[in-house]
Amino acid sequence: MAPSSDSEEDIEVAHLLELYEGDAVKIMGRIEAQLSILASRAQTLLSLAGITITVTGFSGANIAKTGKLASTSIVLGLVLVLVSAAVTMNGILRVEWTTRLGRGTLEQSIRRAIAVRDQKTRAYSLALKVLIVGLALYVTSVGLLLTSALSG
């Protein structure tokens, strides 16, 4: 069997056109639903970032007093949490209307909508990874606070 030269995008476009029998409303509706899922997940990332920032307002000073490692961990963790929030807001929640993707054939519109979805998916993946590292550093600082309380 000869290897296929079709890209993933080509395969997806062909699949959508076949699956929905070329019905533009159904195809674009499917892609818009995927964009909605990304927006919903982005809200979850922002909620976690907001909780982290709020908790820091109550306990950040006590954590920082624990020592240099704890204070460095909490500061780096918060910076990464904020970077994650910025990537989330700018890369995922930035509004791009599928009706403004330009004129052209249905296939061209699908390709542009998929490109937007894929860009937002990459932004979500990056924001999630940065948030996880930020939260890990934050939890490290909390752990240092707790262990210092046991030894103190």
Question: What is the total count of domains within the chain?
Answer: 1
Q: What is the dihedral of CA 111, 112, 113, 119, to 10 degrees?
A: 110
Place of tokens 């000869």: 2
Q: Residues near 98 by Cβ (< 8 Å), separated by ≥ 6?
A: 28, 31, 32, 35, 109, 113, 116
Instruction: Decide if 3 is inside a domain.
Output: no
Per-residue pLDDT of the chain (152 residues), as tens digits, is: 444 568 999 999 999 999 999 999 999 999 999 999 999 999 999 999 999 999 988 888 889 889 999 999 999 999 999 999 999 999 999 887 777 777 789 999 999 999 999 999 999 999 999 999 999 999 999 999 999 878 76
Q: What is the DSSP string of 60-93?
A: HHHHHHT-HHHHHHHHHHHHHHHHHHHHIIIIIS
**Structural domain boundaries enclosing 82:** 8-151
Place of tokens 């990459």: 122
User: CB–CB of 109/28 below 8 Å?
Assistant: yes
User: CB–CB of 144/73 below 8 Å?
Assistant: yes
Instruction: Decide if 1 is inside a domain.
Output: no
Alpha-helical runs (H) found in 8-67: 8-19, 24-65
User: CB–CB of 23/76 below 8 Å?
Assistant: no
What is the reported pLDDT for 88?
A: 97
Instruction: Decide if 116 is inside a domain.
Output: yes
